[in-house]
Amino acid sequence: MVQNDLITYPAPAEAAGNSDFTVRVRTLHGEWQELFCYNVKVDMHDVRNASMVYFDCSGPVEVEVLKNIGVVKEAVIRPLSSGLDCAYNGNRVAFILDRPRKLSLEVNGDRFHNLHIFANPLEENVPDLADPDVIYFGPGIHILEEPQFHIPSGKTVYIAGGAVVVGALVCEHVHDVTIRGRGLLYMSDFEKTTYYRGVQITFSKNITIEGIITVDPPHYTVLIGQSEHISIRNLKTFSTRGWSDGIDMMSCSHIDIDDVFLRTSDDCIAIYGHRGEFDGDSRHVTVRNSILWADVAHPMNIGTHGDSENGGNVIENIVFENIDILEHHEPQRDYWGCMAINPGDNNTVRNIRYENIRIEQFELGELINIRVVHNPKYNPHPGKRVENILFKDIVFNGICENPSRIEGFDETRVVDGITFENVVVNGRQLKLDSEDILIGSYVHNVNIIRNKDSI
Residue 290 belongs to some domain of the structure: yes
pLDDT at residue 451 tops 80: no
Split at pLDDT 50, 70, 90, the class of 435 is: confident
CB atoms within 10 A of CB 86: 17
Counted domains in the chain: 2
- pLDDT confidence of residue 190: 78
pLDDT per residue as tens digits for the range 39-65: 999 999 999 999 999 999 998 999 999
Indicate whether 94 and 36 sit together in one domain: yes
Q: Is residue 239 part of a domain?
A: yes
Digit-coded pLDDT (tens) for 352-408: 999 999 999 999 999 999 999 999 989 999 999 999 999 999 999 999 999 999 999
Q: Are residues 335 and 242 in the same domain?
A: yes
Out of 121, 152, 180, pick the residue that ends a domain: 121
Same structural domain, 380 and 278: yes
Q: What is the CATH number of the domain that holds 114?
A: 2.60.350.10
Distance (Å, whole) CA 163 – CA 111 = 27
User: What is the three-class DSSP state of 232?
Assistant: strand
What value does the mean pLDDT of the chain take?
A: 95
Does 166 lie in the same domain as 101? no
- Residue 126 maps to a domain: no
User: Are residue 144 and residue 93 in the same domain, yes or no?
Assistant: no
Is the Cβ–Cβ distance between 386 and 351 less than 8 Å? no
26 and 148 part of one domain: no
Same domain for 355 and 254, yes or no, is yes
Model pLDDT for residues 78-125, shown as the tens digit of each residue:
999 999 999 999 999 999 999 999 999 999 999 999 999 999 999 999
pLDDT one-digit tens code per residue, 288-346? 999 999 999 999 999 999 999 999 999 999 999 999 999 999 999 999 999 999 999 99
Can you give the pLDDT at residue 452? 58
Q: Is the pTM of this model over 0.85?
A: yes
Domain span at residue 42? 6-121
Listed in order, strand segments (DSSP E) in 265-313 are 269-272, 282-294, 300-302
pLDDT at position 281 over 50 = yes
In a domain, 59, yes or no: yes
Nearest to 303 by CA among 265, 269, 353, 328: 269
Q: Are residue 107 and residue 139 in the same domain, yes or no?
A: no
pLDDT of residue 94: 98
Q: Are residues 415 and 297 located together in one domain of the fold?
A: yes
Q: Residue 12: pLDDT above 50?
A: yes
